[in-house]
Structure 1
C-alpha cells in the first residue's frame, strides 16, 4: 500500500470510530509514524509506505480509535506559540485558555513595576510558563495538588526555559504569608453531574480532579475569591477562566467578596470565557 492509501485507510477508520476531525487526526498520526512533512508527503504519496511506519501508524490509529486524545498520543501540543508536553495526568492546553493568558499579559505590560504572579491549579503549567516566557513578571509561582501534574509542569518549564517556582499545595494551604500582584487560574469548573456526558476524550482520558467543580461547578471560584483575597496585593488583579454560562454567577461571587472592576471577556465564539477583577 502507498502513503496515500494508508492515509485514506486511517481517515476511514477514525471516521468509523466517531472522530470528528478524522482527516486531520489521521494526517498527524501518519506524520508521526513516518516522520515526513506535509510537503514531502505530496512527493511520495504514490510510493510504498515503509513497513515499520505502517506498523507504528496502525498502533497510533488504534489508540485514537479508543478515543485517547490526539495530543496525548503525540505527547505534546502547541499553546501560545510554545510547545508543551501532555499526558493523562494533565488537561490538554486549549485555544480558549489563550485568552486568559493574553489578558494577563496585557495587565503585566500596563504595570509600573514587574508583577508577582500566582497560577493556581497549574496542571501542565501552560499558563505559568507562557506568562514567564512572554511577559516580564518579577516572579511566577505555580501551585497544584497533583504531584503527577507538577512533574509535567516542571518538564514544560525546563523545555521552554521558563523561570517558574512550583509548589505542591491544596489551593492556598502552602502559600501562607505570600502575596501576589496577579492571581490567575483555570480551575475545575464542570458540574459533577455533567462529567459523565462529556466527550470520551475528556471523560475517560483527562484527570477528573482537573474537571470537577462540584455540584454547580462553582466550588473553586468561591475558594479562589474568598480564601485567595488575602494573598492578593492591594491593586492586584485576578483572572479566572470560566464556563460559557458561569459569567454572571462568578461575577456575583467576586462582588460579594469585595472585588471591583469586575469584567467578563468573550472568546472567539462570542461566549463568556474569562472573568477579571481587582482588589
Structure 2
C-alpha cells in the first residue's frame, strides 16, 4: 500500500486502471463513487479538486473498496445505498439490488391507486421495500404491508421504513409469500410484486456481479421462471378485495405466460405495460 499522501487525481487514475483491467464498463463512475464514499464528497468536488490530498487512512480504505469492486462485488453493495424513484434506499448484501426497470411497476401502481382510491396495499417479496415504501412516500393515506421470507430483506425493509419515518404507514412481516395475511384474514385493495422470475438454468449465464453476489433465492423463479407467479396469484384470491388489482413485474419474454396464469385464476382486464426500453415489464389483472 502506498505510504505517501496521494491526490484525488492520482487515486482516480489508479482506480480507473484497476477496474478497466477487470473489464468493468462503469470503471470511471465506480472509482469516483468509491472515493466519494471514503471522502464523503460528491463527484463534482472530486472532478474539480484533482490536487486535493487524501490522507493515508482514507487512501487505504479506498483501495479496500476498490479490491471489492475488482472482485466484482456490485458497487451498490459497497456504497450501502441505491437511488430508486428519486429516493435514496439502504441496500445490503443478501437483498436484491433495486433496478430502474421496477420503477415502471411503481409508476403503474400509483396510477391505479389514485384512480381507484385504494388504500390497503401489499408488497410481496419486498426485498429492500422499495415498491411499498415508494408508494407510501408518494401518496398520502396509504396502509402498506411488506412481506418477504428472507430475514435480511425484512431487516433492510424495516431500516428503510425508519429511514423515511414511515412507521405509521408501512409495516413489514416475515412470511412465506402471503401466508401471514391469509392466516390473519387481512384484505388488500392491491397486491404488487417483483418476484424472482429468472429460469434456474439461466442463472449461470448472468453477470458475475449478479450471480456471485446477489441472493439466489431472490433471482430464481424455478425451472420455468414462473413458480412465484403461480403461487402469488393463487394466494391473492384469498386476500384481494372484490375488484382488487394484482400487478407483477415480469421478464421481457413472460407476458403471455403470466397473463395466462392470471386468466386461469379468474382475473379479468389483463394488460401488459412496457418499460422505457419498450420491453414488456408489468402485467396487471383485476379480480
Q: Which residue among 234, 246, 249 is the counterpart of 2:254?
A: 246
Report runs of 4+ in structure 1 exceeding 6 Å deviation. none
Q: 1:194 Cα shift?
A: 0.7
1:117 touches 1:137 (CA, 8 Å); kept in 2? no
Q: State how far apart, in whole Å, the 1-side matches of 2:138 and 2:148 are.
A: 22
**2:42 matched to 1:34?**
no
**2:183 matched to 1:178?**
no
Q: Give unpaired runs (5+ residues) of structure 2.
A: 1-5
Q: Which residue among 234, 237, 246 is the counterpart of 1:229?
A: 237
Q: State how far apart, in whole Å, the 2-side matches of 1:114 and 1:261 are.
A: 18
- Alignment map for 1:19-168 (pairs within 5 Å): 19-111=24-116, 113-162=117-166, 163-168=169-174
Give the number of equivalent residue pairs: 278
2:118 touches 2:189 (CA, 8 Å); kept in 1? no
Q: 1:5 Cα shift?
A: 1.8
Q: State how far apart, in whole Å, the 2-side matches of 1:85 and 1:47 are.
A: 29
1:97 touches 1:241 (CA, 8 Å); kept in 2? yes
Q: State how far apart, in whole Å, the 1-side matches of 2:118 and 2:254 are.
A: 31
Q: 1:228 Cα shift?
A: 1.4
Q: State how far apart, in whole Å, the 2-side matches of 1:36 and 1:168 are.
A: 37
Q: State how far apart, in whole Å, the 2-side matches of 1:149 and 1:251 are.
A: 28
Q: Give unpaired runs (5+ residues) of structure 1.
A: none
Using the size of structure 1 for normalisation, the TM-score is 0.96
1:125 touches 1:156 (CA, 8 Å); kept in 2? yes
Choose 128-137 or 263-272, whichever is displaced more: 128-137
SS state at 1:19 partner? coil
Q: State how far apart, in whole Å, the 2-side matches of 1:97 and 1:38 are.
A: 26
For the aligned residue pairs, the C-alpha RMSD in angstroms reads: 1.3
Name the structure 2 match of 1:7: 12
Q: Which residue among 208, 212, 217 is the counterpart of 1:204?
A: 212
Q: 1:137 Cα shift?
A: 4.5
1:91-122 CA distances to partner (integer Å, 9 max, x unpaired)? 011111011011111111112x4421011111
